[in-house]
């Protein structure tokens, strides 16, 4: 089968499946970056996150604050950084919901991942890095 047809069919299946949840992930051909589209909200891409958050600082804090210990290995279902499939269901629930889980804890994750010294700004940068 022609690869162009396969790509088109793949894109259409993503759109059809995602539209039923009001969310879909769409691979852009310009930079092969996965984008999250949530209802009428803006598309969340790495470029969008880079404009609002410091992803480099987020990565550094992610590594130094202890987040990587669980998230790099997906321990107890922790979403891995950059693993789009893990983040789609979280992004659809909204940015504030994701931040609230990071601050207050969620499932087996303790508040702030057990590191109370992490600031709100650090959390926002860490989450933006992880989603990107």
pLDDT digits (tens, 9 = 90+) for 4-44: 555 555 554 444 444 433 333 333 333 344 556 555 455 56
Q: Which domain covers residue 24, as residue numbers?
A: 3-131
Domain count, the chain: 1
Question: Do residues 97 and 91 make contact, with C-beta atoms less than 8 angstroms apart?
Answer: no
Write phi, then psi, for 35 (nearest 5 degrees): -115, 145
**Which residue bears the tokens 């989450």?**
127
User: What tokens were used for 32?
Assistant: 């092969």
Residue 123 pLDDT level (bands cut at 50, 70, 90): very high
- Per-residue pLDDT reduced to its tens digit, 37-80: 555 455 567 888 888 999 999 999 999 999 999 999 999 999 99
Give the CA dihedral 32, 36, 42, 46, nearest 10 degrees. -50
- DSSP SS3 for 16: helix
CATH code, domain with 120: 1.10.760.10
Express each pLDDT in 98-113 by its tens digit: 999 999 999 999 999 9
Structure tokens at 87: 């983040």
CB atoms within 10 A of CB 131: 26
pTM of the entire predicted model: 0.69
Element (H, E) at 25: strand 23-27
């Amino acid at each position: 089968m022609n690869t162009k047809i396969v790509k088109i069919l793949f894109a259409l299946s993503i759109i059809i499946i995602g539209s039923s949840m009001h969310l879909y992930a769409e691979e852009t051909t310009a930079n092969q970056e996965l984008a999250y589209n949530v209802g009428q909200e803006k598309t969340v891409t790495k470029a969008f996150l880079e404009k609002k958050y410091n992803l480099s600082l987020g990565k550094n804090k992610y590594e130094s604050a202890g987040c990587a210990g669980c998230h790099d290995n997906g321990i107890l279902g922790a979403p891995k950084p950059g693993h789009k499939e893990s983040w789609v269901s979280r992004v659809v629930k909204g940015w504030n919901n994701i931040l609230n889980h990071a601050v207050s804890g969620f499932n087996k994750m303790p508040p702030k991942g057990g590191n109370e010294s992490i600031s709100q700004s650090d959390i926002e940068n860490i989450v933006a890095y992880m989603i990107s």
